[in-house]
Amino acid sequence: MPKSIYRAKAFKSRASHPLNGLSVIFDLGGFSKFFNQPDVHSYIPSYLNHITKCIETAFFGGKQFWLLDGSDDLPPLNPLPIHRKFLGDGALYIWTPSKTSEEFSTNFLGYLSNRLWNLQKELPQINKACADQIPVFELPKAIRFGISRGTIYELTIEGSKVKEYIGICINLAARLQKYCSGLNFIASARVGLPSKSLTKHGYIKVLATKIKGFPNEIVIVDKDEYQSLPKNITKDLFADI
C-alpha cells in the first residue's frame, strides 16, 4: 500500500513585515512535448539539473560551460537570491536588497536582466552541451523569463526554518513569462531599470494591455525582438507608450 501524504504544517500566524522584493520566474517552452517522448523519464532529472546549473551560474557566478568561445567566468551577482522554488517545468527565484542597503542597485538590476536575456538566446548552445547525457531529439525550444519587483511577505512554517513568500510581484512575474510566446524575456517596468540603461542595452518600454489582473502594465522588452513580432501580435497584446 502506498503511504498517504504527510499532513501539512501550519504557517506561523503572522507574516513578516513588508519586504522590498524582486522575483524571477522561468518556464521551459515545449516541456510537455519533451516530457511525452518514450523513456524520457530517464532523462528529465538530468535535463532539469543541467538547466538549473546554467541559470544559477548566471546568479552565483562561474564558467559559462555551455559556450564554446572561452567566455570568462561570470562574477556572482550582489545580492544573491534568497529563495528558490521548483515549479515543475521552471522555478521561482526571489531577491531582497543586500543587508547594507534598502534598495537594489542599478548595476545589479542591469546585470540580472542582461544575464537572463543572454540565457534565453543561448538555449541552443545550452541544449547542445547536454546532448551526450540526454539523447532525446525534442528538447525544449525556449526558456521564458518574467521579472517583477514589489512588496513581498515572508511566511514561516511552524517548528521549522522553511520560508515561503507571497506578493503581487510574484504573481506578475508568472504572468509575464507566459504572456507572449514570441518574447522570452519580459520585465515589468517596476523593476526600475533607468532609461539610460535601457537605451544602452537595446531595451524599450511598451504597454502590455491584456495581462490578467494587471491591465495596462508597462513592460521592458528587447527592441529588436519586439519589432520582429508579427504586427497582429503587437497590435493585440501591446501598445506603444
Where in the chain are the domains?
19-179
Q: Which residue, among 234, 164, 139, 152, has the nearest Cα to 190 in the 3D structure?
A: 152
Q: Which residue, among 228, 144, 145, has the nearest Cα to 191 in the 3D structure?
A: 145
Compute the distance between CA of residue 36 and CA of residue 197 in angstroms, rounded to an integer. Answer: 42
Q: Which CATH superfamily is domain 19-179 in?
A: Nucleotide cyclase, GGDEF domain (3.30.70.1230)
Q: What are phi and psi of 158, to 5 degrees?
A: -55, 135
Compute the distance between CA of residue 143 and CA of residue 91 in angstroms, rounded to an integer. Answer: 11
Side chain identity, residue 220:
I
- Mean pLDDT value across the chain: 90
Q: In sequence order, which residues have a C-beta less than 8 Å from that of residue 162 and are 6 or more positions away?
A: 156
Compute the distance between CA of residue 157 and CA of residue 92 in angstroms, rounded to an integer. Answer: 19
Going by pLDDT thresholds of 50, 70 and 90, the confidence category of residue 68 is: confident
pLDDT tens for 134-190 read 777 678 889 999 999 999 999 888 777 788 999 999 999 999 999 999 999 999 999
pLDDT tens for 181-203 read 999 999 999 999 999 999 999 99
The DSSP code for 59 is H
Q: In sequence order, which residues have a C-beta less than 8 Å from that of residue 32 and are 6 or more positions away?
A: 89
Query: Cα separations (Å) of 197 from 75, 113, 133, 221?
Result: 20, 11, 39, 13
- What would you report as the CA-atom Rg of the chain, rounded to the nearest whole angstrom? 19
Global pTM reads: 0.91
